[in-house]
Amino acid sequence: MTTPIVLTDPVPVAIRRRAFLPADPLGAAGTLVIVGLILLAILGPVAAPYPLQGTGTANVHEAMLPPGPGHLLGTDQLGRDVLSRIIVGTRNAIGVSFAVVGLAIAIGVPLGAIAGYRRGRIDAVIMRATDLALAFPSLLLAMAIVAALGPGLEHAAIALAISWWPWYTRLSRATAASLRERPFVEAARAIGVSDLRIIFGHIIPNSLSPIIVQATIDIGTVILAAGSLAFIGLGARAPEADWGLMVSEGRTVILDQWWIPTFPGLAIFIAVLAFNLVGDGLRDRFDPRHQR
């Protein structure tokens, strides 16, 4: 009688991971920053040292103060505390970028999933439309749309969402097309589950990881794009606290009051950097082929 077969498991020999060091320190830092940003966005003006100045109330007799005690990042031409304005502006940045990406996903993902799952004519039509939308440089399209609709934060958001959804359609179509051959989808079809339910109940939930990675990076990109639009006057308008707008407002006095445009720009940079780092980290985590 042969003894029962036991698959010997490799036993760790001497080498252990240093438990206290996170696998991805930059990604961890990025996550912290993102959490902080979301918190600030939720708290809004309350988190600012000078809430009223943050939301736009002028304080002219303290105008153009350099960074120092009392005003850590200085004050702008109207005497408003720069730090407070940046904190208040977080809500715009996070809000717009989440809304835009959310909208782009809401439109793009189902479209792509339907195209990838159904194939045939629907696929052709949807993908032709997507290709056409992608044939435009995104920001240019957004600018043209804002020009047509008129300036303002909401119009900028709509314009950006319209420019962004095609990327998600393409992404989700590719995933849907490959998932559709999998056994669990075939099984669902075989027992008569409706197409719609398959798409929304099986295909989309299983396509999430590349979408999440893309979304994270895109949030950063949209913050940058919205900031750029605001910089040239196509986004939020004064006296709103918008990072891009603040940089633009400070541009005229940059040589002497450098802090006025520099810090809001720094805020954009740090936010985008954080989302990029986290997105990268997620990508490495989800796709083992992309070795670090």
Residues making contact with another protein (CB under 8 A): 2-3, 5-17, 131-132, 135-141, 143-149, 220, 224, 227-228, 231-234, 244, 247, 251, 254-255, 258, 261-262, 265-266, 268-269, 272-273, 276-277, 280, 289-292
- Tokens representing residue 179 in the block: 């998932």
CB-nearer residue toward another protein: 42 or 147: 147
Smallest separation (angstroms) from another protein to the CB of 124: 13
CB-nearer residue toward another protein: 72 or 232: 232
**H-helix or E-strand spanning residue 99:** helix 82-118
CB-nearer residue toward another protein: 11 or 190: 11
3-state secondary structure of 68: strand
Helical axes 138-149 vs 153-179, angle rounded to 10°: 140
- Tokens representing residue 4 in the block: 């029962």
Smallest separation (angstroms) from another protein to the CB of 66: 14
Smallest separation (angstroms) from another protein to the CB of 220: 7
Quote the CA–CA distance of 54 and 52 in Å, as a whole number: 5
CB-nearer residue toward another protein: 63 or 273: 273
Smallest separation (angstroms) from another protein to the CB of 58: 24
Smallest separation (angstroms) from another protein to the CB of 281: 11
Q: Are 207 and 175 in contact (CB under 8 A)?
A: yes
Smallest separation (angstroms) from another protein to the CB of 200: 30
Smallest separation (angstroms) from another protein to the CB of 8: 5
CB-nearer residue toward another protein: 65 or 245: 245
Could you give phi then psi for residue 68, rounded to 5 degrees? -175, -175
CB-nearer residue toward another protein: 110 or 279: 279
Which residue's entry shows tokens 């009051």? 257
Residue from 254, 217, 250, 218 nearest 231 by CA: 250
Quote the CA–CA distance of 244 and 237 in Å, as a whole number: 10
3-state secondary structure of 36: helix
Quote the CA–CA distance of 147 and 78 in Å, as a whole number: 29
Smallest separation (angstroms) from another protein to the CB of 284: 11
CB-nearer residue toward another protein: 110 or 220: 220
Quote the CA–CA distance of 185 and 167 in Å, as a whole number: 24
- Tokens representing residue 22 in the block: 């996170």
CB-nearer residue toward another protein: 50 or 164: 164
Residue from 217, 215, 200, 205 nearest 27 by CA: 217
